[in-house]
Chains A and B, each alone.
Chain A
Amino acid sequence: MAEEDPDEPQVAALRAVWLAMRDHDEDPPDSGLSALMAAARSQAVHMTAKPRWWQRGFEQVRRPPVLALATLLVLIGGAVLMTKHQDTIERAPTAAPARYEEMPATSREVDVDRGGGSGGGGGGAAGAATTPASPGTLPTEPSVARPVASPAPAPASSTAHEHRVSPRPRTAPEASAAGTTGTPRAGTLTGAGAPTAAGAPTRSGSTAAAVVPAPARAYPGFEPDAAEADTKSRAPVKRPTAEDEPAPRQVLLDQLAARARRAAQRGDCENAKAIATRIAGQDATYYRDHVANELANCVPAPASTP
């Protein structure tokens, strides 16, 4: 207290006055004391009562920063979903065939030979219902070892080949509708985005094979531009009916033959041979009738009919 004016005698004298005033401090009335103590007891009870864990969590969640963060996350998540969905819509007509081309030959052959899709669209529907609805995505690594038959050529008359063509993972009603006609959409091929789940029941009562993840790798000789142009030209505008479209197997063979022809025209005999070999594996008759003659300069002479 002597910091202010230690050498000021008048201030020191005045200080003595107010120090004497301190001795005459008044006592506050006791009138409000009971109310204060009652409030203090109530507050003590409130402070000691521990809220339950969910009450504490709820209180935390109700705080403005958490609410703001949640709003931000919802907005960002919505924007991401919208963007992805937009990409999916834009890629849908061309993605499936392109991805099919990216599949390894063995996988495609397995798909072609597989009877898991038999029973109309039911198998496809089951696959679509159990896999992500993104036709442009492929599993990057196999999750289930699939019991597969040997990649030997299947008999041409196999009815199991009827419904292995699937334009995209279908929703259940759509797949069901396709299953009733027994004719999937042309121009797109199965195996890209709709692997059939293991154990998924099909219309015929059998269960589909295990999921067939197709590792994404470029098929030898695959030309994205040519394939894309091809698929764009074939991009379906309307849903074809069973009457006005060829059998899916035929479509596949035609596509392979066209590709083999283009490869032969480019002088890429190695690629043409590979494709021709696949055609022969699929349908020896078709190979003999359509491929062997046209690609005589590249592919070997057709073998005798088995």
Chain B
Amino acid sequence: MFNDQADEDLMVMYQKGEVRAFEVLLSRHRRPVFNFILRFVGDRETAEDLLQEAFMRVIKGAEAYKRQAKFTTWLYTIARNLCVDQTRRRKHRKHASLDAPMDSSEESGTLMDVIPGNEMASDRKSVNKQLHEQMQRAIAALSEDQREVFLMREFLDMPFKQIADVVGVPENTVKSRMRYALEKLRLELDDYKDLAKVAP
């Protein structure tokens, strides 16, 4: 009964006390929201905390939810704001350099050493793994504005209009950011274009 309902209907039912409706919403959106956050902040532990916080805010704000608002827009606005706040907080912290030794010993390697390089992999599985890791690095290298647009567009299949609502900028700005993001990704992954062509 609940599984066929739209998100907005489920939210209204939850407002009337149907906890099961919220359970369906949770099961429907928990995974994509988690992966959006994970790709945004790049840290699993932080992503788990932010996921929990995002749904807690949904619960707290359920009373004020209006049927006219699209649920996913509201949900991803919350998640995106949490990610932005987290990123800004993290900027103030001191980060370890990629070239710095991982521990105090002279012989220890650097972070750069453990990040996969662009050597050609021998088998298909290894190629895919290498491509995915390189893609993640390229996505992480995007600016915050471009990254959020890219993730919502390519990984969540959101229309530009909805992305504009979530981010709070005009639709043309979203399109522009998307264009820059793709261009940057193309440049970053230029060395992997041959691998990408043979990847499944």
Chain A contacts to B: CB under 8 angstroms: 1, 3-5, 8, 10-11, 13-22, 24-29, 31-33, 35-37, 39-41, 43-48
Contact = CB atoms under 8 A, between A and B. Distances in A.
B59 A18 contact: no
Interface centre among A8, A14, A24, A35 (most CB of B within 10 A): A14
Q: Is the interface of B mostly helix, strand, loop or mixed?
A: helix
Contact of A17 (B18, B23, B135): B135
A10 B56 CA distance: 41
A37 B60 CA distance: 12
B43 interface: no
B61 to A, nearest CB: 10
Given A26-B35, A47-B62, A48-B16, A16 B199 contact: yes
Given A10-B193, A14-B186, A28 B31 contact: yes
A18 B155 contact: yes
A79 B18 CA distance: 53
Given A26-B34, A29-B48, A44-B22, A10 B179 contact: no
B179 to A, nearest CB: 6
A1 B60 contact: no
A28 B34 contact: yes
B82 interface: no
A43 B157 contact: no
B41 interface: no
Interface of B: 14-19, 22-23, 26, 30-32, 34-35, 38, 44, 47-48, 51-52, 55-56, 59-60, 62-63, 128, 131-132, 135-136, 139, 153-155, 157, 160, 175, 178-179, 182, 185-186, 189-190, 193, 196-197, 199-200
A41 to B, nearest CB: 5
Given A4-B179, A5-B182, A20-B200, A44 B19 contact: yes
A297 to B, nearest CB: 90
A136 to B, nearest CB: 55
B35 A25 contact: yes
Given A14-B196, A16-B196, A28-B31, A47 B63 contact: yes
B23 A26 contact: no
Contact of B52 (A14, A16, A36): A36
Contact of A8 (B55, B59, B186): B186
Q: Is the interface of A mostly helix, strand, loop or mixed?
A: helix
B194 to A, nearest CB: 9
Given A11-B182, A36-B59, A1 B154 contact: yes
B59 A17 contact: no
Contacts of A3: 160, 175
A167 B62 CA distance: 68
Nearest to A42: B59
A18 B48 contact: no
A28 B48 contact: yes
B191 to A, nearest CB: 12
Given A16-B196, A48-B16, A32 B182 contact: no
